[in-house]
């Protein structure tokens, strides 16, 4: 199986090239990514626990799913593809905010991403892909916030950054998943 490429971007999110995913993470170069946040009707966030054999952040809790866009793929198309691959369902997604972050890991890899936040609504049980996801759960946003303070080591670095920086933004969704 060939390694997937990531889309290299500049600070304006303009594509400047492609690079194998692992090389981009070793070199810490800026590339495009997305993070999906799925909420239920009770405004609880679906979290996933990363599979225990992931090459970084194994067994840590994070947002519903995240990954990298493929060349020619929109943010929404990429989010739906990965949501199906990891969590076993697809919902309508809407683009929210985007930002740049950098998170180095103990294994020498670095996430340096221009991240696009995608938001969706879902009320059923996912059919998780066990090679990607070890477990899942619904959590109220306040409980996530409190648990991250008490147990930061249980969460991925990118999720802590996203959640802290944009907590107010994700907390003002109405029952349709739209901003109030």
Residue 66 annotated to the active site: yes
Residue 113 annotated to the active site: yes
Beta carbons of 98 and 121 less than 8 angstroms apart:
no
Beta carbons of 134 and 121 less than 8 angstroms apart:
no
Residue 49: closest CA among 165, 162, 159: 159
First and final C-alpha spacing in the chain: 44
Give SS3 for 48: strand
Of residues 65, 66, 86, 132, which has the active-site annotation?
66
CA 94 vs CA 61, 116, 120: distances in Å = 23, 10, 7
Burial class, 147, CB count within 10 angstroms (exposed 0-12 / middle 13-18 / buried 19+): middle
State the DSSP code for 123: -
Of residues 86, 113, 132, 157, which has the active-site annotation?
113
Give catalytic residues, as residue numbers. 66, 113
């Amino acid at each position: 199986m060939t390694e997937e490429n990531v889309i290299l971007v500049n600070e304006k999110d303009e594509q400047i090239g492609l690079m194998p995913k692992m090389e981009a993470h070793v070199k810490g170069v800026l590339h495009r990514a997305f993070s999906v946040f799925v909420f239920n009707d009770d405004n609880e966030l679906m979290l996933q626990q990363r599979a225990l054999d992931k090459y970084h952040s194994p067994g840590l809790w994070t947002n519903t799913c995240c990954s990298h866009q493929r060349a020619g793929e929109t943010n929404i198309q990429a989010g739906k593809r990965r949501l199906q691959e990891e969590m076993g369902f697809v919902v309508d997604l809407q683009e929210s905010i985007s930002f740049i972050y950098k998170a180095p890991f103990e294994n020498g890899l670095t996430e340096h991403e221009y991240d696009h936040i995608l938001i969706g609504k879902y009320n059923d049980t996912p059919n998780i892909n066990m090679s990607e996801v070890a477990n899942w759960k619904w959590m109220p946003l306040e409980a996530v916030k409190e648990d991250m303070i008490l147990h930061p080591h249980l969460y991925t670095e990118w999720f802590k950054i996203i959640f802290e920086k944009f907590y107010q933004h994700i907390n003002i969704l109405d029952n349709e998943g739209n901003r109030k």
